């Protein structure tokens, strides 16, 4: 079949590679030019998912990653506390990577002739057994299937479900990176992804190492990634997203765009609520960036010959570490679904129901974690390990197919 993929990020590239190998004629329509970038930040995915990507030759065995095995839950004891009180440590098997490294591995497997940059899709129309995609600058093309892999603000989702709106969750993800060489001691981060609760304040933070410049995983050449979940009311959000030039943004503030006075306010807040080891990392980070957190669920991942992949479908709270997992499963199971000679609309419908249900389960799980980590987190500084374990067991209920993999601010 002739298949158009709208969006050339992780989900789009995964689908393009898998579908091309299955013999389909694929075109990736990416609105950006010059390649995608990840702002230097990291993402995490279950080690099993990462190894599946390697086994399927979607990424190379030498793709730079940093493996963590434990997930401590920590709170500050008092103003002089350097590392904090570790109430609970959960086992964790996660690969932490730079978003850009992962994307480049996937992109290198997509033929340049099929990856079209600067192609913004402004409309899609189903006509008989085809889908017409077109742009405001006059281009138009016809496909047997159209797959939208264009992220959480998906234009494809708006076409299929115009009454569905993103739901703002009442907090933002404030992020930064710091070169490991700036730390006096990186040993605490060597095997762990830390989760820190803000004592007396809703929200929490995660800290972890990822490969550094050029994919280096050598000690001293890596990066510290951190992400703080900061409550911002919907009424405050519009003013919060005003950048240094005074422009009001709608969905994020890119590195270096946050107003200096706002950045300093948040850094001061972290100095009052985090152990000094972690607050100093935040304080030393420059050009921090922000994205508000939204969610949405979809009744189906496909209607007719138009399908949604990755965050173009359901968008769950970011605590499940499922972004890469969901995009990969959406794409690879789609290839299986349309691999025979059956009616693609019929096979897409079955695939769609399964993917929508997975998205729903991830959203439910993410909302549980959201309550536990952001809105109802206990004071870990006064908790014994037995109390913390009881809190964990009562707070989170996992669907059978998901184990705890944490988030990394992806």
Instruction: Tell me the C-alpha distance between 204 and 198, whole Å.
Output: 6
DSSP structure class, residue 142: E
In the three-class reduction of DSSP (H, G, I as helix; E, B as strand; rest coil), residue 90 is classed as: strand
Instruction: Tell me the C-alpha distance between 12 and 38, whole Å.
Output: 15
Stated length of the chain: 410
Q: With beta carbons less than 8 A apart as the criterion, state whether 73 and 380 touch.
A: yes
In the three-class reduction of DSSP (H, G, I as helix; E, B as strand; rest coil), residue 343 is classed as: coil
| Sign of the alpha-carbon dihedral angle for 344, 306, 164, 367 | positive
Q: With beta carbons less than 8 A apart as the criterion, state whether 323 and 311 touch.
A: yes
User: Exposed, middle or buried, 343 (CB in 10 Å: 0-12/13-18/19+)?
Assistant: exposed
pTM of the model: 0.92
Within the chain, all domains assigned CATH 3.50.50.60 are found at: 2-38+101-165+296-376
Cα three-residue angle 246-205-386, rounded to 5 degrees = 160
Dump the DSSP string for 281-319.
HHHH--S-EEEEEEEB--S-SEETTEEE-GGGS-B--TT
Instruction: Tell me the C-alpha distance between 242 and 245, whole Å.
Output: 8
Terminal CA-to-CA distance of the chain, rounded, Å?
Answer: 33
In the three-class reduction of DSSP (H, G, I as helix; E, B as strand; rest coil), residue 115 is classed as: strand
pLDDT tens by residue, the chain, 410 residues: 999 999 999 999 999 999 999 999 999 999 998 877 666 678 888 888 899 899 999 999 999 999 999 999 999 999 899 999 999 999 999 999 988 899 999 999 999 999 999 999 999 999 889 999 999 899 999 999 999 999 999 999 999 999 999 999 999 999 999 999 999 899 999 999 999 999 889 999 999 999 988 889 999 999 999 999 999 999 999 999 999 999 999 899 999 999 999 999 999 999 999 999 999 999 999 999 999 999 999 999 999 999 999 999 999 998 887 777 788 788 888 888 887 656 788 889 989 999 999 899 989 999 999 999 999 988 899 899 999 999 999 998 876 655 554 444 43
CA 128 to chain centre: 36
Sheet with 123-127: list strands edge to edge. Answer: 123-127, 130-134, 140-143
Within the chain, all domains assigned CATH 3.30.9.60 are found at: 66-99+168-294
CATH code reported for the domain at 2-38+101-165+296-376? 3.50.50.60
Domain 66-99+168-294 fold = D-Amino Acid Oxidase; Chain A, domain 2 (3.30.9)
């Amino acid at each position: 079949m002739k298949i158009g993929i709208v969006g050339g990020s992780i989900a789009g590239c995964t689908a393009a590679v898998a579908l091309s190998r299955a013999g389909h004629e694929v075109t990736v329509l990416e609105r950006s030019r010059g390649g995608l970038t990840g702002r230097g930040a990291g993402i995490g995915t279950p080690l099993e998912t990462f190894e599946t990507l390697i086994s399927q030759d979607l990424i190379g065995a030498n793709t730079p990653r940093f493996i963590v095995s434990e997930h401590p839950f920590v709170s500050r004891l008092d103003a002089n506390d350097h590392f904090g009180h570790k109430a609970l440590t959960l086992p964790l098997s996660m690969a932490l990577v730079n978003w850009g490294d992962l994307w480049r591995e996937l992109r290198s497997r997509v033929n340049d002739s099929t990856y079209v940059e600067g192609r913004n899709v402004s409309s899609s129309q189903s006509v008989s057994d085809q889908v017409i995609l077109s742009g405001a600058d006059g281009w138009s093309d016809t496909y047997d299937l159209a797959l939208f892999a264009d992220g959480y603000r998906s234009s494809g989702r708006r076409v299929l479900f115009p009454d569905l709106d993103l739901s703002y969750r009442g907090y933002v993800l404030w992020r930064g990176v710091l070169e490991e060489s700036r730390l006096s001691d990186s040993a605490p981060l060597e095997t762990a992804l830390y989760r820190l609760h803000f004592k007396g304040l809703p929200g929490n933070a995660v800290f972890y190492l990822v490969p550094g410049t050029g994919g280096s995983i050598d000690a001293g050449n890596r990066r510290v990634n951190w992400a703080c979940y900061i409550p911002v009311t919907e009424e405050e959000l519009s003013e919060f997203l005003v950048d240094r030039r005074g422009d009001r943004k709608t969905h994020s503030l890119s590195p270096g765009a946050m107003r200096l006075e706002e950045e300093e306010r948040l850094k001061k807040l972290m100095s009052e609520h985090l152990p000094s080891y972690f607050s100093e990392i935040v304080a030393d980070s420059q050009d921090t960036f922000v994205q508000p957190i939204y969610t949405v669920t979809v009744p189906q991942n496909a209607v007719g010959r138009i399908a949604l992949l990755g965050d173009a479908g359901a968008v769950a709270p970011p605590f499940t570490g499922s972004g890469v997992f969901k995009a990969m499963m959406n794409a690879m199971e789609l290839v299986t679904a349309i691999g025979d000679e059956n009616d693609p609309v019929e096979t897409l419908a079955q695939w769609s129901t399964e993917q929508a249900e997975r998205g729903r389960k991830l959203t439910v799980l993410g909302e549980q974690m959201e309550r536990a980590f952001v809105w109802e987190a206990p004071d870990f500084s006064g908790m014994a390990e037995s109390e913390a374990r009881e809190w964990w067991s009562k707070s989170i209920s996992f669907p059978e197919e998901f184990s705890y993999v944490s988030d990394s601010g992806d």
